[in-house]
Chain A
Amino acid sequence: MAIEVLKERYSSRIREVVLGATPEQGGTRTHTITIGGDSTLPFLHFEGEVPHRPVVAVEVLDRVPEWSPTLTKYYEDVLDDPAAWAKKAVEQYAADLIYLKLQSADPELGDSSPEQCARTVKDVLGAVGVPLIVVGSGNEEKDNQVLPAVAEAAAGENLLLGIATQDNYKTLTAACMVHKHNIIAQSPIDINICKQLNILISEMNLPLDRIVIDTSIGALGYGIEYSYSIMERTRLGGLTGDKMLGMPVFCNVGYEVGRTKEFNAGVAEFPGWGPQEERGIVWEAMTATALLQAGGHIVVMRHPEAIKLVKKNIDAMMQKNGF
C-alpha cells in the first residue's frame, strides 16, 4: 500500500523575467535568458514547475581587480580588457550571462566618465552573445550619472541594471523605464525593506516583471544563514500571493566570497584550512549551492572551477524527481 505523499499547492508563481533581446526584439543577443516562473520551492519538480534553470553570471570588471592570484591566473591576459574578459568567460568558462561591474566609475578608482562606461558596455555587448547584467561602482552620485548613460546607449538590449536601494532608486528606475531595461532591487537582508522598495519602484510604473530581488547575501561562514532564511521566506511569500516578493532572486556570490579569508589566505597563515585555491573553490561553490537551495535564480561567480561545480550541481538539481 503506497504512502500518501503530501504535495503543496501554492496560489501564485514567481514571476518570469526575460534578460537580453535578440535582433528580432531590438537587441543584439544571440538568445535571451528567462529566469523565475517557479510554482513551488526550489527543485521540487514533483509538485510543481521549475520551468527555468538557475543561471551563473560571471563577473567582469572594467579595471584590473585586486583579486587573489589563485583566481586572476585564469583571466591573466584579459584583466585589462573587459570585452576580451567577457569573451573568455563565455567561451572558456561557460558563463550563462556576463555581470559587468563598472568599478572604474568610482571617483577613487579611476573616475571613468559616463561616456567611457557606456562605451565599455557597448564593447562587451559586441564581444559576447549572452545577456548582460551591468552594475555601477557603488558610488551613488556617480552611478546616477553613469547608469542612465549606459541605459541609453544600450537601449533595446534589455539589460539587467543595478543596483537600486531604498534610498537611491529613482534615477535607475526612470532609466529602466525609458530605455526598457530590468532592475536589481537591493535590500539589506530585510524582507520589509525588500517589499517596500519593490512597491516604490512599481509606483513609478516599472512593470513588476522587470524587477529582480537582491536580498543581499553573506558568504558561507559570514552570515549566509541570514540570506538563506530571508530567501526562503521571500520564495514562500511569492508563492502564497505576495506580489512584492514574487520576483526572481539575485545572489552576488563572487564578491562576498572574494572578501573572505577562506578565499584569500594562504595555507601558511591558516595551516588547518588546507591549500588556499582548493579551499577557496569549494568555499565559493558551496556558498552558491546552498543559496540555490534557498531559491536563488542568478548567482554571480568568479572562479572557473567553482563555476563548473555549480553548473554541474544545477544540472543535477534540474533532473526530474517524483513519487
Chain B
Amino acid sequence: MGLTGLEIYKHLPKKNCGKCGPPTCLAFAMSLAAGKASLDSCPDVTDAAKEALGAASAPPIAAIKFGFGDYVNKLGEETVIFRHEKTFVNPTSVVVEIPDTLRGAQLDEKMADVNFVFERVGLQYNLNGVAIRNVSGDAETFAEAARLVTEKTRHGLVLISEDVAVMERALADVSRRVPLLYAATADNYEKMIELGKKHSCPVVVRGNGLDATAQLVGKVTAQGCKNLVLDTGNRDLSQTLADYTMIRRLAIKRKFRPLGYPIIAFTTASDPREEMMEASVFVAKYASVVVVKTSKREHLLSLLALRGNIYTDPQKPIQVEPKIYEVGQVTPASPVYVTTNFSLTYFSVEGEVQASRVPAYILPVETDGTSVLTAWAAGKYTADKIAEFIKSSGIADRVQHREVVLPGYVAVLSGKLQEASGWKVVVGPREASGIPAFAKGRYTQGVPA
C-alpha cells in the first residue's frame, strides 16, 4: 500500500472484532501494508478512512478511463519521470479528430482508417479513438456525428464542445460509451463538470496556462470531481514540453494533486508530416492522449511504433517463445536457422527467411529477450546452451539432415557448437538482411541429408 502498518492502523476502527480475518486491527494493518489484504474486508472502516488510505496509495498521476469494454483507454497511473527509472505505464492513446459535419464516404473512409490494425515485426498497433469537434455549432449535427461514429467503431470517443447544451444532447445518445468530454473551462466548468458527473465521463479541464489550469482543477475537485484530464491551453511546442514536464515533475516529486492527472495534447500543424513530429514530442514527453488530424497509414505507422517503443517496459523486452518455428512449406530437407528469442531479432530473421523464398525452420534460443550480440556478451548465448536447445526442441525429428546455420556475429562459437551438438554448423550472415542471398546460394535444393 505504500504506508507502514502503523500508519494504516491509525485509520482503522481498532475494535479487534476479527471480522476481517486477523484477530486484531494491528495484524490487519500489517497485512494491508504488505499488500496481502484488502481494505474491503473491514466492515467498520469509515468513509474518511477509506479516502485517506486510498489517497495515500493512489499513484501520483490518477488512473482515468474513457471508452468501454475491450476498447477502454486507460490513462495515467504514471510513477516515474524517466522510463529507465522503472517503466511508463499506460501507452499514449492516439485519437483522430474529425469535424462533426463529416458524413458519407468521407466519414466511412476515416472510420476505416481508425479501425485499421497495423502489423510489423510480429506486433499489432492500433489507434485508440475518434475526437469529434463541434464545428457546426449545432447540437443535432454533433449528436448525429457521435451516433454515427459509435456505429462505425468501438474505439474511444472524445467529444469536443464547450457548449454544455450541445454536449448534453450528444451524451443523451452516446454516454454508454464513456466518452472523454472536452472541455471544462473557467467559463463553463460548473455545468460541464455536473454533466460529466451525471454520465460518469471524465472531463478535460483547460486553463490558460499551467497556473490557471491547476487553479481550475482546484475549483473542480472542490465541486467533487476527480475524473479529470488536463489541457494547459498552450499550443506552442516548446511550451507544451515545459508544461508537461512540470506536470509530471510536480505530480511525482511533490505529490502535487491538482496536477496529478493525465495530459491531453493536440497537434497544430496543417502539414501531416509536421503533425507527426509534434506528436512524437508529446508521446515521448508525458501526454496520455494525443489528438491528430491525419489518419493516413504512412504517417501513423511511425507514431504508433514510437509509442510502442517508449512504453515498452525496459525490464521486459518483448520475447518470443523458444520453440521450433516454420517459415513457408517446410520439408525434412529444409534448413534450420538458430537465433535468439528477442522479438526484434526473431522477426528480423523470420522476415528475411520469408524474403529468401526458401522455406526453413527457425530456432530462437532463450536469451531473456536479448539480441545475438548482447546475449553473447552477457554469456546467455553459448555453444552449450544452443546445443541444448537444438536437442530439446525436437528439431532432429523434423529434418533428415543435421546442419544448423549460426548467426555470423557469433561465428567464434561454431567449433564448440559443432562439438557440443554433434550437428554440422554453418556460419551464416552477420545481418539478417544477408539471409536471402545466403539461402539462395546454399539451400535452393534443400539441405543434403
Contact = CB atoms under 8 A, between A and B. Distances in A.
Interface of A: 1-3, 5-6, 41, 43-46, 188, 220-225, 228-229, 232-233, 236, 259, 261-262, 270, 272-275, 278-279, 281-283, 285-286, 289-290, 293-294, 305, 309-310, 312-313, 316-323
Interface string B200-213: 00000000001100
B58 interface: no
B439 interface: no
Nearest to B236: A319
Interface stretch (B294-302, B394-402, B418-426): B294-302
A108 to B, nearest CB: 13
A273 B298 contact: yes
Give the most central of A41, A222, A282, A323: most B CB within 10 Å. Answer: A282
Nearest to A226: B314
B246 A6 contact: yes
Contact of A323 (B238, B242, B284): B242
B257 to A, nearest CB: 11
14 contacts: A5-B210, A44-B242, A188-B373, A221-B309, A225-B314, A273-B298, A286-B276, A286-B302, A286-B303, A310-B277, A316-B236, A317-B281, A321-B239, A321-B241
B302 A274 contact: no
Given A220-B302, A285-B273, A286-B306, A229 B256 contact: no
Contacts of A321: 236, 238-239, 241-242
Interface in B312-362: 312, 314, 344, 351
Leading 7 A-B pairs by shortest Cβ distance: A274-B298, A274-B297, A321-B242, A279-B298, A229-B84, A278-B298, A221-B305
Give the most central of B239, B256, B302: most A CB within 10 Å. Answer: B302
A313 B241 CA distance: 12
Given A221-B309, A274-B298, A309-B274, 8 more contacts: A6-B249, A6-B254, A221-B305, A275-B298, A279-B302, A282-B302, A293-B284, A319-B238
B273 A282 contact: yes
Given A6-B249, A259-B433, A274 B214 contact: no
Nearest to B118: A272
Nearest to A321: B242
Given A44-B242, A279-B301, A279-B302, A6 B280 contact: no
Contacts of B306: 220-221, 224, 286, 290
Interface of B: 82-84, 116, 118-121, 210-211, 214-215, 236-239, 241-242, 245-246, 249-250, 253-254, 256, 258-259, 273-274, 276-278, 280-281, 284-285, 296-299, 301-303, 305-306, 308-310, 312, 314, 344, 351, 371, 373, 433
Contacts of A274: 296-299, 301
A319 B242 CA distance: 11
Contacts of A318: 238
Contact of B273 (A232, A281, A290): A281
Contacts of A221: 120-121, 302, 305-306, 308-309
Contacts of A5: 210, 246, 250
Contacts of B119: 272
A40 to B, nearest CB: 10
A273 B245 contact: no
Contacts of B273: 278, 281-282, 285, 305, 309
A322 B274 CA distance: 23
Contacts of A262: 120, 301-302, 305
Contacts of B121: 221
Instruction: Classify the secondary structure of A's interface with B.
Output: helix
Contacts of B308: 221
Nearest to A276: B298
B332 to A, nearest CB: 30
A290 to B, nearest CB: 5
A317 B84 contact: no
B5 to A, nearest CB: 31
A283 B285 contact: no
Given A232-B82, A323-B242, A225 B277 contact: no
Contacts of B296: 274, 278
A17 to B, nearest CB: 24
A228 B280 CA distance: 13
A285 B433 CA distance: 23
Nearest to A275: B298
Give the most central of A223, A225, A232: most B CB within 10 Å. Answer: A225
B372 to A, nearest CB: 12
Contact of A3 (B211, B237, B285, B305): B211
Contacts of B433: 259
Contact of A232 (B84, B241, B274): B84
Contacts of B116: 272
Contacts of A43: 238, 241
Contacts of A285: 273, 276-277
Contacts of B285: 293
B211 A278 contact: no
Contacts of A223: 344, 371
A228 B254 CA distance: 26
A161 B285 CA distance: 33
Contact of A45 (B211, B237, B238, B249): B238
B120 to A, nearest CB: 7
A188 B245 CA distance: 29
B344 A222 contact: yes
Given A229-B83, A272-B119, A322-B242, A3 B256 contact: yes
Contacts of A259: 433
A61 to B, nearest CB: 18
B274 A317 contact: no
A312 B84 contact: no
A222 B308 CA distance: 11
A270 B118 CA distance: 10
Given A274-B299, A274-B301, A290 B241 contact: no
A272 B285 CA distance: 28
Contacts of B239: 319, 321-322
A2 B302 contact: no
A71 B55 CA distance: 55
A317 B82 contact: no
A293 B254 contact: no
B238 A316 contact: yes
Contact of A228 (B259, B299, B310): B310
Contacts of A45: 238, 242
B238 A293 contact: no
B309 A220 contact: yes
